[in-house]
Structure 1
Amino acid sequence: MRITFLGAAGTVTGSKYLLEHGGKRVLVDCGLFQGLKQLRLRNWDVFPLQPETIDAVVLTHAHIDHSGYLPALARQGFSGPVFCTEATRDLCALLLPDSGHLQEEDALYANRRGFSKHSPALPLYTEQDARKTLRLFQPQQFDAEFEPVEGLRMRFSLAGHILGAASVHVQWGSGSLLFSGDLGRDEDVVMRPPQAPPAADYVVMESTYGDRSHEKEDPATAFAEVINRTAARGGVVIVPAFAVGRAQSLMYVLATLKREGRIPDLPAFLNSPMAADTTELYHKHRSQHRLTPDQCRMMCTAAKVVNSVEESRKLNDMRYPAVIISASGMATGGRVVHHLKAMAPNPRNTILLAGYQAAGTRGAALVGGAKQIKIHGDYVPVRAEVASLGALSAHADREELLRWVGRMPQPPKRVFVTHGESVAADSLRIAIQEQHGWACTVPEHMQAVELG
């Protein structure tokens, strides 16, 4: 078995791992690079092998940094099956066409405004490309063995990060490999915790929060404090939120706070039709989360869904307290960018970041205290309050990551620490070595390793 780290090595994005065994090739995850420009440019590089020579793709979950390159891969010649859980398939049916549509919109906007260095600016793939890719999906059940290619046996186990998120156990002959995928929280507001890991000879483990712990504060209390102080000064709370996962957690907490009278009954808007569609999937996949049917219904009605572009624009003219939840979570694109452009200069407003912010994103710049952010070629002053809500993160923190890997039934031969910024990955590597004495490596981009 040979593994090549085509993405998420030395960075927290672009997850792609190539497995080669018995003349077959399987790609585990097929994500877009996001964040820093030098990373985003990798999306446009010639793929390091002929896409038509890949026999199958296996997805850990639906987030774009794990699935978003699939339409580009198919556009270049990949035509094999895509294996994932049922909920991941359902979410990809929303996320991938939306990704293609946003890329088309961004290219059109860049061409109209003339701020792109390329003439004309082109999308990496289109909405139609994404819809064609969905025909390749072959969903699998959790804890049921499947064989993506001859000689490889795989099994999905619950990772808890978002609906459908899975760890992937791979077996060949007498060898085995475990991909953690993105791991969720032990005490998440909505999602169930990750399953304990099975025994494996090798582990590829995420390290998004490998160097830090989440705040111990109650997320509902922290959210209420932000809303109340912003409302007191007549401002709007703008929440960039991932349409899958964070938007739903925020709406559930928002509904709970209103029901308990801990915040004013102010208007709330979910300005992401895709997030609204995602919320409905919580009814379908109830075994993966903690909510009762009544709580699901409460979550689904916590905010008014904004569908049209015209309705979205009107939100920018609001002059009364409100909450706007809108994608994308790192403020890299989507409707929330237009809200930031309109509302960031007003000191009455608050920008609330509720998830991980990768280096190079507008979200990371805001968390870092930027006094201005670049949007559509212009610099926009940031006078609004900027707050963070780390307790609502969908990612396991350092202690939870160490607890998860520490539950392995027997020591692996080696742990590969990936999907984290350099400091986070190396910090987790050191911690695993010190706590367990296991061989642990942070692989480099494009590094290939022979597994025994």
Structure 2
Amino acid sequence: MGVSITFLGGAGTVTGSKYLVKHQDHSLLVDCGLFQGYKQLRQRNWTPLSIAPGQIDAVVLTHAHLDHSGYLPLLAKEGFTGKVYATPGTRDLCRILLPDSGHIQEEDAEFANRHNFSKHAPALPLYTRQDALDALPLIKTVAFGKTFSPIPGWKASFSPAGHILGAASVLLEVAGRRILFSGDLGRPDDLLMSPPQNAPQADTVLIESTYGDRTHPHEDMLAELAPALQRVAKRGGVAVVPVFAVGRAQALLHAIHLLKLKGELPESLPVFLDSPMAVHTTHLFESHPGEHRLSQHDTRALTHNATMINSTDESRALASRHGPMVILSASGMATGGRVLHHLAHYAGNHRNMIILTGYQAPGTRGGTLASGARTVRIHGRDVEVNAEVVQMQSASAHADANQLLTWLRTMPKAPDQVYVVHGEAGPADTLRSRIVRELGWRAQVPEQGSTWPT
């Protein structure tokens, strides 16, 4: 019997990445992500997997973003007891992200119950903070470039993918087949992270396609961010910036620091980082100096050039301050977290600004704001959007279509098969078409739940 892959997530959508590799009696899950965005996608998190968690031998994580790691506490709660292999950076970030994810789900359920806007009585969290803490000891770290055996007779190794701290591509070798999982690939010209390593030889490749149908603008983040913040500062407004606590928050902090150094923003413009998770992540950059471009001085500046907000009382107190000021707060697509309170408070005022800093999945509040909607639903009520909405095109931490193809071209020779994953239907099919046309390789977009040979 050959080696097969079942696409349990990250197929036809950018969320919920889960790829089940099976050979004979063994099963390995590459990534263990939560579905986010549209309600029908989020509801998949509540549907049992097609395999009992206790029958999965091991999990390998490409990186710590919740759409790749956020299902892990539920997997463990439902009976998975194997090891979870990850890079040290991914382990460190999971220690921050997963308990926070459980905490936010508990808070959201409690808020829904208190205000009676859930259709379920009572509303329940998918998993709790404690469930996440219970899952963390399963994670075993492996350094980049070191071969390990997640299952006897199987081999795997991590290579740097850029994107965020700890992010990796995974090469899996089983029964004579070499399967390469790109993970989320960073940009070669990223402001913060080092570029992805060249792709190793493989028989089968799973390539992400978040930006499979477009290229990033030539304009860099500083050139795009400066005029927006200059406008809002001039009119005394508040810029609310939904950010991913991991990666995007630090890139924005670094960009604002550089703009102040260049004299393009007033040194006195107050900047607040209102996300305990982002605050903790920012300190991690000092522990992983080899993975990013920042000097020691730049790394220190990340934590010194903004006011770090930890407590909910400090967060609430921001509402009584007057602009101009910049509030960076999670989550990046405004799906939850403290940024929702800031959006509810500031979105109605035309002097204020909402800056969207990267890909906004359809069905998220960020996606609603990016589409130009004049209202956004927050905590069960419609909030008017009179603030200026700016969508930055240059802040993405994902490789664009040309960069994805360039990475594929670094493979020593053509693979037998490419599966285009982790993208909406349009971008995934556009990238598939380019792979076939420009590289002459076999490529297809697998459907959710489908099983294919390697």
Which bracket does the TM-score occupy, shorter chain normalised?
over 0.9
1:175 is matched with which residue? 177
- Within a 5 Å distance, the mapping from 1:314-329 to structure 2 comes to 314-329=317-332
In 2, the alpha carbon distance for the partners of 1:395 and 1:436 equals 21
Letter in 1 for 2:434: A
- Within a 5 Å distance, the mapping from 1:42-441 to structure 2 comes to 42-264=44-266, 265-441=268-444
**Percent of aligned pairs with the same residue?**
55
1:14 is matched with which residue? 16
- Is the contact made by 2:57 and 2:151 (CA closer than 8 Å) also made in structure 1? yes
How far is 1:255 from its partner?
A: 1.0
Q: Paired residues, what number?
A: 451
In 2, the alpha carbon distance for the partners of 1:256 and 1:250 equals 10
- Is the contact made by 1:14 and 1:33 (CA closer than 8 Å) also made in structure 2? yes
How far is 1:316 from its partner?
A: 2.1
How far is 1:174 from its partner?
A: 2.2
- Is the contact made by 2:8 and 2:49 (CA closer than 8 Å) also made in structure 1? no
Letter in 2 for 1:363: G
Range that drifts further, 212-221 or 51-60:
212-221
Range that drifts further, 198-207 or 317-326:
317-326
What SS does structure 1 have at the residue aligned with 2:447?
coil
What SS does structure 2 have at the residue aligned with 1:392?
coil
Note the alpha carbon deviations across 1:341-375, whole angstroms, 9 max, x for none: 01000000010001211110010111110110000
What SS does structure 2 have at the residue aligned with 1:390?
coil
In 1, the alpha carbon distance for the partners of 2:29 and 2:284 equals 27
In 2, the alpha carbon distance for the partners of 1:56 and 1:175 equals 18
Note the alpha carbon deviations across 1:393-432, whole angstroms, 9 max, x for none: 1000111111111111100001000000000000000001
Unpaired runs of at least 5, structure 2: none
In 2, the alpha carbon distance for the partners of 1:260 and 1:39 equals 44
Letter in 2 for 1:34: Q
- Is the contact made by 1:159 and 1:181 (CA closer than 8 Å) also made in structure 2? yes
What SS does structure 2 have at the residue aligned with 1:238?
strand
In 1, the alpha carbon distance for the partners of 2:412 and 2:432 equals 19
In 1, the alpha carbon distance for the partners of 2:302 and 2:45 equals 36
Matched, 1:442 2:442: no
- Is the contact made by 1:207 and 1:420 (CA closer than 8 Å) also made in structure 2? yes
Letter in 2 for 1:412: P
- Within a 5 Å distance, the mapping from 1:36-47 to structure 2 comes to 36-47=38-49
Unpaired runs of at least 5, structure 1: none
What SS does structure 1 have at the residue aligned with 2:394?
helix
In 2, the alpha carbon distance for the partners of 1:353 and 1:395 equals 15
**Cα RMSD between the aligned structures?**
0.8
In 2, the alpha carbon distance for the partners of 1:435 and 1:193 equals 23
In 2, the alpha carbon distance for the partners of 1:119 and 1:427 equals 43
In 1, the alpha carbon distance for the partners of 2:104 and 2:323 equals 30
In 1, the alpha carbon distance for the partners of 2:197 and 2:33 equals 24
What SS does structure 2 have at the residue aligned with 1:291?
coil
Note the alpha carbon deviations across 1:302-325, whole angstroms, 9 max, x for none: 210111111111212332200000
How far is 1:102 from its partner?
A: 0.3
How far is 1:274 from its partner?
A: 1.0
How far is 1:219 from its partner?
A: 1.0
In 2, the alpha carbon distance for the partners of 1:373 and 1:179 equals 36
What SS does structure 2 have at the residue aligned with 1:171?
strand
In 1, the alpha carbon distance for the partners of 2:13 and 2:391 equals 22
Note the alpha carbon deviations across 1:38-80, whole angstroms, 9 max, x for none: 0000000122111101000000000000000000111100111
How far is 1:152 from its partner?
A: 1.1
How far is 1:234 from its partner?
A: 1.1
What SS does structure 1 have at the residue aligned with 2:320?
coil
What SS does structure 2 have at the residue aligned with 1:416?
strand
In 2, the alpha carbon distance for the partners of 1:316 and 1:421 equals 36
In 1, the alpha carbon distance for the partners of 2:254 and 2:305 equals 7
- Is the contact made by 1:22 and 1:151 (CA closer than 8 Å) also made in structure 2? no
What SS does structure 2 have at the residue aligned with 1:255?
helix
In 1, the alpha carbon distance for the partners of 2:16 and 2:154 equals 24
In 2, the alpha carbon distance for the partners of 1:318 and 1:382 equals 20
In 2, the alpha carbon distance for the partners of 1:66 and 1:387 equals 27
How far is 1:29 from its partner?
A: 0.2
In 2, the alpha carbon distance for the partners of 1:249 and 1:38 equals 32
In 2, the alpha carbon distance for the partners of 1:121 and 1:344 equals 27
- Is the contact made by 1:418 and 1:425 (CA closer than 8 Å) also made in structure 2? yes
Note the alpha carbon deviations across 1:234-282, whole angstroms, 9 max, x for none: 1011100000000000001111111222101211100001111101111
- Is the contact made by 1:352 and 1:388 (CA closer than 8 Å) also made in structure 2? yes
What SS does structure 2 have at the residue aligned with 1:133?
helix
How far is 1:151 from its partner?
A: 2.0
How far is 1:388 from its partner?
A: 1.5
In 2, the alpha carbon distance for the partners of 1:444 and 1:222 equals 37
